[in-house]
């Protein structure tokens, strides 16, 4: 599969992961250009329906990137986000979609390399498993 054709959606907390992504870009770190970032005030706002909609709209992989555990600006938003991600993985599995296409990462605003690694990890998973079956069904 052409990795440039891979679609990855990242739901990123504005305080940490979004800034880490920005830092990665401004310091010219190399990572696959196939990620689309959705900025959230806190990952605690994530809901299963948002994750599933990203897949329905053609994402091959989705990840949520929040502050380090214990450092969420809204106390436990990132802990809630991890629970939502784990729950949604079960829904994906029941729907016959590899739950590895969804992941949660934690990072601080200065961890640009960790954001880069998250994108590479998810891109590699898509490379291994191919395009999302939902995408194949909607774009034969």
Q: How far is the CB of 111 from ligand FES (least distance, A)?
A: 12
Which tokens go with 24? Answer: 């990665």
At a CB cut-off of 8 Å and minimum separation 6, what does 8 contact?
Answer: 32, 34, 35, 36, 59, 60, 61, 62, 63, 119, 122, 123, 126
* CB-nearer residue toward ligand FES: 62 or 134: 62
Strands (E) in the chain, as ranges, are 8-13, 35-40, 61-66, 102-106
Tell me if 20 contacts ligand FES by CB under 6 A. no
Q: How far is the CB of 40 from ligand FES (least distance, A)?
A: 8
Q: Is 10 helix (H, G, I), strand (E, B) or coil?
A: strand
Q: Which of residues 104-133 bind ligand FES (CB under 6 A)?
A: none
By CB under 6 A, name the one of 6, 19, 34, 78 that touches ligand FES: 78
Tell me if 67 contacts ligand FES by CB under 6 A. yes
Across the strands, what pairs with 105?
65
By CB under 6 A, name the one of 11, 77, 132, 134 that touches ligand FES: 77
Tell me if 13 contacts ligand FES by CB under 6 A. yes
* CB-nearer residue toward ligand FES: 81 or 134: 81
Q: How far apart are CA 77 and CA 70, in angstroms?
A: 10
**Residues 12/105, Cβ–Cβ less than 8 Å:** no
Residues at the site binding ligand FES, with contacts judged by CB under 6 A: 13, 15-16, 42-44, 66-67, 72-74, 77-78
């Amino acid at each position: 599969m052409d990795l440039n054709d891979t679609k990855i959606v990242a739901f990123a907390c504005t305080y940490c992961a979004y800034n880490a992504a920005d830092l990665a870009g401004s310091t010219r770190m190399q990572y696959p250009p196939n990620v689309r970032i959705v900025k959230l005030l806190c990952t605690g706002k994530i809901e299963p329906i948002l994750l599933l909609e990203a897949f329905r709209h053609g994402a091959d992989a989705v990840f949520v990137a929040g502050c380090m555990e214990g450092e969420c600006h809204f106390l436990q938003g990132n802990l809630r986000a991890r629970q939502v991600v784990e729950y949604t993985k079960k829904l994906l599995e029941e729907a016959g979609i590899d739950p590895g296409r969804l992941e949660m990462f934690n990072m601080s605003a200065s961890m640009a390399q960790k954001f880069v690694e998250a994108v590479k990890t998810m891109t590699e998973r898509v490379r291994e498993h191919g395009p999302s079956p939902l995408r194949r069904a909607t774009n034969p």
